[in-house]
């Protein structure tokens, strides 16, 4: 990704993506009378991730663009894996991303009665039957893509017998797995999904919304399209793996004889160095590889939020990557680019020293404290200025000093001058070391009082400018530095015999501390700052006024792509 920005105009005049083309053509010929009504249909069996964010931005974005509507619908057909904890988190995440479903929050479980009636319609038409085979037997008789399946012995049951059995399935007369309702389509179809798919299974399990009202539950495929139809969705946008389900989607709607939405598939978002499967993300949480769904290393929306990502940065990311028809993998550095771009404009600056070494200004009065002024955000004058206390003893970054520097080292070294940002030019006079370890414990400097802003020498040229914090005013904070959760670009595609877990990065979290200027005392959870010269940081939820905790959102520069280019 080039460093240059996507100009606003380009966004507005950009050519239509293929979904917009379909919608505009439908509108032109009046398929849905110009109506555009999309939906975002999560299954509440996990927390949303950046891939879902892409789908949310796409669906709600199309609703907005075409003056249409977008529903939020929970496809909650599997009581075994679903939970209200997930429902609540999904509602929170969609809202946080900045989208509004208004009064259109729906649940497929609200349609269980209607879906049951649709199944009865299919039975009466001779298009569905009750089958007594076990799940294993059904699997074995399905055949393979190159070999037709064989028909169930129960396929020829009469309509009356099927109605009777289906009614009794609903009444709870049979145990789990004893019977299923199947569509009667074609066991020789080249499309495996058309080989008499299961519509209903028996599950004596409470549902998070319908309780014990039902002991049979519709399969996802049977619930999803019909729910779209009930809600009069126009364009039902889903990911590519559903392309092969489309004939079935259309078959149900046609055979039941109801309003027909149009299913359109796009490529799911994959991002390098992470995984997107809810099942695997759940495993990471359950196995304690991360601290929870909102661990700042997770690709979940709540993880990204806790890390310090903003809704605008995620929306911008979704916009830049566009929609594709073919599977692809997006470089995570593009997401990092988006948050840097946003925080550069919106985050105030702070001086924070991550790896401190003390400097003592020998010619500075012992007890003097001067307030230096510094701009809060050079990109936004309206953010004003703040005062930084300056005193005799200060911290700078250990890396900003070298005793025997190479030529190109423009920071502090014996006999050399640097500017302390918003303060004075100082010169290094000597170094004090620990006699045992040889480690530098103090750097002695002198300052030039004429170099403060507004003084005659303030514009004097020196090669380096350093950030600093006054020792006695510094606030110590915990700093959590994150690296990629996985060590390879595509942990979902491991080498033979390995799994994604073999590629967990043992150094993905490093805890350290920093000395920060006193303004930081006012910081509250989720506040974001640019620590001058080091990166963007956000206050973690573990933070207390006594013990501030910061997450590094991203380093200031894209050090990764540079490192990789050099190799």
Neighbour tally for 356: CB within 10 Å: 20
Q: Where are the beta strands (DSSP E) in 379-508?
A: 385-390, 393-397, 417-420, 425-433, 440-448, 465-466, 469-470, 475-482
| 127 is a site residue for ligand ATP (CB under 6 A) | no
Least spacing, CB of residue 492 vs ligand ATP, in Å: 11
Interface stretch with ligand ATP, choices 40-48, 139-147, 176-184, 511-519 (CB under 6 A): 40-48
Cα separations (Å) of 79 from 168, 201, 209, 443, 474? 20, 12, 9, 65, 53
Interface stretch with ligand ATP, choices 4-12, 41-49, 522-530, 537-545 (CB under 6 A): 41-49
Residues 232-251, mask of contacts with ligand ATP (x by CB under 6 A):
------xx------------
Least spacing, CB of residue 90 vs ligand ATP, in Å: 8
| 228 is a site residue for ligand ATP (CB under 6 A) | no
Interface stretch with ligand ATP, choices 51-59, 399-407, 411-419, 440-448 (CB under 6 A): 51-59
Least spacing, CB of residue 255 vs ligand ATP, in Å: 24
Residue 258, token pair as written in the block: 């109801």
| 298 is a site residue for ligand ATP (CB under 6 A) | no
Q: What residue number has its CB nearest to ligand ATP? A: 51
Least spacing, CB of residue 53 vs ligand ATP, in Å: 8
| 45 is a site residue for ligand ATP (CB under 6 A) | yes
| 491 is a site residue for ligand ATP (CB under 6 A) | no
Residues 276-295, mask of contacts with ligand ATP (x by CB under 6 A):
x-x-----------------
| 64 is a site residue for ligand ATP (CB under 6 A) | no
| Cα 59 from Cα 312, distance rounded (Å) | 16
Residue 511, token pair as written in the block: 């805890």
Interface stretch with ligand ATP, choices 37-45, 225-233, 326-334, 484-492 (CB under 6 A): 37-45
Residue count, binding to ligand ATP (CB under 6 A)? 14
Q: Which of 37, 52, 69, 452 binds ligand ATP (CB under 6 A)?
A: 52
| 400 is a site residue for ligand ATP (CB under 6 A) | no
Contact (CB, 8 A) for 536 and 339:
yes
13-18 long-range contacts (CB < 8 A, ≥24 apart) are 17/322, 17/323, 18/266, 18/323, 18/325
| Cα 539 from Cα 262, distance rounded (Å) | 44
Which CB sits closer to ligand ATP, 41 or 296? 41
* 283: Cβ contacts below 8 Å, ≥ 6 apart: 289, 501
Least spacing, CB of residue 138 vs ligand ATP, in Å: 21
| 271 is a site residue for ligand ATP (CB under 6 A) | no
Instruction: Please name which of 228, 226, 221, 253 lies closest in space to residue 59, comparing C-alpha atoms.
Output: 228
| Cα 73 from Cα 40, distance rounded (Å) | 6
Strand partners, 374: 386
**Annotated catalytic sites, by residue?**
43, 268, 278
Least spacing, CB of residue 421 vs ligand ATP, in Å: 43
Burial 105-142 (b: 16+ CB within 10 A, else e): ebbbbbbbeebbebbbebbeeebbbbbebeeeebeebb
Q: Which of 32, 37, 38, 41 binds ligand ATP (CB under 6 A)?
A: 41
Given the structure tokens 């309780």, which residue do they identify? Answer: 211
| 209 is a site residue for ligand ATP (CB under 6 A) | no
Which CB sits closer to ligand ATP, 491 or 535? 491
Least spacing, CB of residue 285 vs ligand ATP, in Å: 15
Q: Is 182 exposed, middle or buried (CB count within 10 Å of its CB: 0-12, 13-18, 19+)?
A: buried
| Cα 402 from Cα 87, distance rounded (Å) | 55
Q: Which of 47, 51, 311, 538 binds ligand ATP (CB under 6 A)?
A: 51
Instruction: Please name which of 418, 416, 491, 486 lies closest in space to residue 451, comparing C-alpha atoms.
Output: 418
Which CB sits closer to ligand ATP, 129 or 252? 252
| 42 is a site residue for ligand ATP (CB under 6 A) | yes
Which residues form the interface with ligand ATP (CB under 6 A)? 41-43, 45, 51-52, 54-55, 238-239, 268-269, 276, 278
């Amino acid at each position: 990704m080039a460093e240059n920005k996507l100009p606003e105009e380009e966004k507005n005049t950009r050519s239509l993506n293929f979904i917009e083309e379909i919608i505009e053509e439908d509108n032109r010929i009046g398929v849905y009378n110009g109506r555009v009504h999309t939906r975002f249909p999560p299954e509440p069996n996990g927390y949303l991730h950046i891939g879902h964010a892409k789908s949310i931005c796409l669906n709600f974005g199309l609703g907005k663009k075409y003056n249409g509507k977008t529903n939020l619908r929970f496809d909650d057909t599997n009581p075994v894996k679903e939970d209200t904890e997930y429902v609540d988190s999904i509602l929170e995440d969609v809202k946080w991303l900045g989208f509004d479903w208004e009064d259109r929050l729906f649940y497929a479980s609200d349609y269980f009665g209607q879906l049951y009636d649709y199944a009865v319609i299919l039975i009466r038409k001779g298009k569905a039957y009750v089958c007594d085979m076990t799940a294993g037997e059904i699997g074995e008789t399905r055949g393979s893509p190159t070999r037709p399946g064989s028909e169930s012995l129960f396929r020829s049951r009469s309509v009356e017998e099927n109605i009777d059995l289906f009614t009794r399935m609903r009444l709870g007369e049979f145990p789990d797995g004893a019977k299923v309702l199947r569509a009667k389509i074609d066991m020789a179809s080249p499309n495996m999904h058309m080989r008499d798919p299961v519509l209903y299974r028996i599950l004596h399990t409470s549902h998070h919304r319908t309780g014990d009202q039902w002991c049979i539950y519709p399969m996802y495929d049977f619930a999803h399209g019909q729910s779209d139809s009930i809600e009069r969705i126009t364009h039902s946008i889903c990911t590519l793996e559903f392309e092969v389900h489309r004939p079935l989607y259309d078959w149900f709607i046609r055979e039941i004889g109801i309003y027909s939405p149009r299913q359109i598939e796009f490529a799911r978002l994959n991002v390098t160095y992470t995984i997107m499967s809810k099942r695997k993300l759940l495993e990471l949480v359950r196995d304690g590889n991360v601290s929870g769904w909102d661990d700042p290393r997770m690709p979940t929306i709540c993880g990204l939020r806790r890390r310090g990502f903003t809704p605008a940065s995620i929306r911008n990311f979704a916009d830049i990557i566009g929609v594709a028809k073919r599977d692809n993998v997006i470089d995570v550095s593009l997401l990092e680019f988006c948050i840097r771009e946003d925080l550069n404009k919106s985050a105030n600056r702070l001086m924070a020293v991550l790896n401190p070494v003390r400097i003592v200004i020998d010619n500075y009065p012992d007890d003097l404290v001067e307030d230096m002024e510094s701009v809060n955000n050079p990109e936004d004058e309206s953010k004003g200025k703040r005062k930084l206390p300056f005193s005799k003893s200060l911290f700078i970054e250990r890396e900003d000093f070298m005793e025997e520097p190479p030529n190109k080292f423009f920071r502090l070294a014996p006999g050399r001058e640097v500017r302390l940002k918003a303060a004075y030019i100082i010169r290094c006079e000597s170094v004090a070391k620990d006699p045992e370890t040889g480690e530098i414990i103090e750097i002695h400097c002198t300052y030039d009082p004429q170099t403060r802003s507004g003084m005659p020498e303030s514009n004097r040229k020196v090669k380096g400018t350093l950030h600093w914090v006054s020792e006695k005013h510094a606030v110590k904070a915990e700093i959590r530095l994150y690296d990629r959760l996985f060590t390879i670009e595509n942990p979902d595609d491991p080498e033979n015999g390995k799994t994604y877990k073999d590629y967990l990065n043992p150094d993905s979290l490093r805890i350290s501390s920093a000395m920060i200027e006193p303004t930081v005392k006012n910081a509250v959870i989720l506040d974001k700052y640019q620590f001058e010269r080091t990166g963007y940081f956000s206050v973690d939820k573990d933070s207390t006024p006594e013990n501030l905790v910061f997450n590094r959102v991203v380093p200031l520069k894209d050090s990764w792509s540079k490192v990789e280019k050099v190799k």
